Amino acid sequence: MAPLPPSTAPRPAPRSWWRRNQIAITPWLFLAPGILFFAIYVLIPVGQSFNISLYDWDGLGAAEYVGLRNYEEMYWDDAFYTSLRNNVIWLVLYLLAIPAGLAIALFLNQTVTGIRIYKSLFFFPFVISQVVVGLVFSWFYDPSFGLLNVMLGWVGLGPVNVLGDEDWVTYGIIAAGLWPQTAYCMILYLTGLNAVDPEQIEAGRLDNAKGLRMLWHIILPQLRPATFIAFVVTIIGALRSFDLISIMTQGGPFGESRVLSFYMFEVALSEYGFRMGYGAAIAVVLFLIMLCFITYFLWSMYREEKGR
């Protein structure tokens, strides 16, 4: 190899600022649009909501600063506790969609002629609009011509006015909500079941596992990602339960089926509302409840990433 000729080229110019920091900056540049819109549509409104919740404002005139009085009023407000109680009932009972979805998914996870048609039929309720679900169920529950009462009549049970009875109404609406939500969980589990490792099942069989033991020890652990997603979407779905209530009962009878999101809407934006400050205060409480779950989700995702 010939010796290198003495370098005649000029010393390279000092690297530009951009070149020196490129690696550090690039991820932020890619993130910038996301951060920008997240800030505009999520973070800033959260701050604004909190700010409005400190005022008494009807949306038209001047806003009057009242400090924490909206929260104090909420503390004495029966309707708020009714809504909060219903929110808890929603959160607990809505989770039934997960085992129900799993059961249907296991049932449908077989190779029979036409299974795709059955799968799509079971998925159908998730495709139709919540408004339609609400209407269908309010007719189903109708005390004068609804199917439910006809069916109860067959077994000799008296007519029930599900949506007009303050003890039944929330459960009636949740049952309507479970119909599409179960379908959603089912589809999540069906995709999850596709990814179950046949070799592990084989190994389980050799060790004489079957039935529930097989499900619990072999299948379910492999379905963990699907369960996690199903849990997330169901919790969010329960907290967002607004459209069904609005369609089926408007929060009635006498406010017994309200949840926080509906109460917030009613107070701040409906025909008889326009108390922006109080509505915002309810929104803040709802946000804090959601924050508990969001923190949990983020934390468990973070732990999972780290574990890898």
**Minimal distance in Å, beta carbon 28 to another protein?**
37
Q: Give me the least distance between CB of 143 and another protein, in Å please.
A: 4
Q: Are 260 and 91 in contact (CB under 8 A)?
A: no
| Between 69 and 119, CB nearer to another protein | 69
What is the smallest separation between the CB atom of 223 and another protein, expressed in angstroms? 41
Distance CA(47)–CA(70), nearest Å, equals 16
Coil, helix or strand at residue 186: helix
102: tokens are 């799993």
Nearer to another protein, 183 or 267 (CB): 267
Q: Measured from the CB atom, is 227 or 257 closer to another protein?
A: 257
Of the pair 204, 273, the CB lying nearest another protein is at: 273
Nearest distance from residue 68's CB to another protein, in Å? 16
Element (H, E) at 56: strand 55-56
**268 within 8 A of 279, measured Cβ to Cβ:** yes
Distance, in Å, from the CA atom of 296 to the CA atom of 287, rounded to the nearest integer, reads 14
Smallest gap from Cβ 131 to another protein, in A, equals 15
Q: In the chain, how many H helices and how many E strands?
A: 16, 2
**Cβ 105 vs Cβ 186: under 8 Å:** yes
Give 177 or 255: the residue with its C-beta nearer to another protein: 255
Binding site for another protein (CB under 8 A): 58-61, 73, 76, 78, 141-144, 159, 161, 163-166, 249-250, 252-255, 266, 269-275
